[in-house]
Amino acid sequence: MKFGIFGSAQAKRGGPDTDSGAGFRDFVELNVEAEALGFVSSFLVEHHFTGFGQVSATLNLLTWVGARTTTLRLGTAVIVLPWHNPVLLAEQAATIDLLSDGRLDFGIGKGYRHNEFAGFCIPMEESDGRFEEALEVIVKAWTSDAPWSHRGKYWQFDNVVVEPPTAQKPHPPFWMGAGHPESIARVAERGHHLLLDQFAPIEQTGERIAIFKREVKARGRIFDPMTVAVTRSVHVVMTAAEKEKAVEVRMAARRRTERLAQRPDGQNKASIMSYAMTPEAAEESALYGTPDEIIAKIQTLERLGARYVLLNSAGGPETLRRFAREVMPVFAREPLLDTVG
């Protein structure tokens, strides 16, 4: 199995004595240490208008991480295509791919938070159409050497050759988040890699891996388990009281983001909004506990077909250090046989 890291950084607001960039610099240092500890990738979110400083300029921060590392894959989880000019985005992403010697993993999505669409004055109902058109343009931008034009519903470009080219050919790997079975099937149909969210119960995560594997094989392709990344929150805690506190913090953070995401009519149907909001559910889906407890949960994920896990460290750098020392060596062997068909 391989392990990467996943998450965000915070730029705090404040007065003249507040160092708003400290959280970003700490995040960069965390990535430098993660590479040294043996983590293979770092996937960074994109979010806007939170009031608590989540990362908004994802590629900018990843470029800084790329400059300080040499082997760490640089992932986006995810860039929300409906909000971006696709040609400008293709240029920016190609630039980081070149500067990092081909380390970009380009995670893309449609978005799910109502407050972000409202802030950009973009109806959520347009997200599918905007996503599809933007993706078409980006692929064309990365694979066309001759000038081309585009006349779409949302974007128009005339006689352009997009520069620079990407280092990876024909382009960096596309990763997509999906949870509903039909969405997972579409990821397989496109030939993209699959990102699975951190809140789904472990058994449901296994079911989603099985769906993706089946859909890939149904299209005559060989399934590579490294094309599925399972995200999980991780926190090494040694007592029941510490675990209970960690779960409470996790639930509070989720309630905060769901308030931003929910539509005024309460009808946000995104799969990430569908999970039970109970301490039991929050603990079951997270890797919280002693190293031995965390190992047992990862072994369950492994039996269900997971081979690539991205960790959002709720326990900060010390949890990543203990994970690297006490958990990762257990999985530095041939994987267990999975139960996925």
Structure-token match 């805690």, residue found: 237
Spatial neighbors of 260 by CB under 8 A, at least 6 apart, are: 49, 50, 113, 114, 115, 116
The percentage of residues in the chain with a pLDDT greater than 70, rounded to a whole number, is: 98
Q: How many whole angstroms separate alpha carbon 316 and alpha carbon 158?
A: 47
Residue 27 has pLDDT above 70, yes or no: yes
The answer as to whether 336 is a domain residue is no
Residue 194 lies in a domain: yes
Give the structural domain span for 40: 2-331
Per-residue pLDDT at 28 exceeds 90: yes
pLDDT reported for residue 341: 58
Residue 298 corresponds to which tokens in the numbers above? 């990862």
Lowest-pLDDT range, 8-12, 77-81, 149-153, 210-214?
8-12
Within a domain: residue 190?
Answer: yes
- Does 182 have pLDDT greater than 80? yes
Confirm whether 338 is domain-assigned. no
**The pLDDT value given to residue 168:** 98
Whether residue 339 is contained in a domain is answered as no
Contact residues for 143 (Cβ-Cβ < 8 A; gap 6+): 170, 171
- The C-alpha atoms of residue 46 and residue 139 are separated, in whole angstroms, by 21
Count of domains in the chain?
1
Residue 341 lies in a domain: no
Q: Which residue has the tokens 């970003």?
A: 24
Measure the CA–CA gap between 291 and 326, rounded to whole angstroms. Answer: 6
Query: Is the residue at 340 inside a domain?
Result: no
| Tokens coding 295 | 């190992």
What integer pLDDT is reported at residue 334 of this predicted model? 72
| pLDDT score of 113 | 96
**pTM of the predicted structure, to 2 decimals:** 0.95
pLDDT by residue (tens digit) across 258-288? 999 999 999 999 999 999 999 999 999 999 9
CATH of the domain at 200: 3.20.20.30
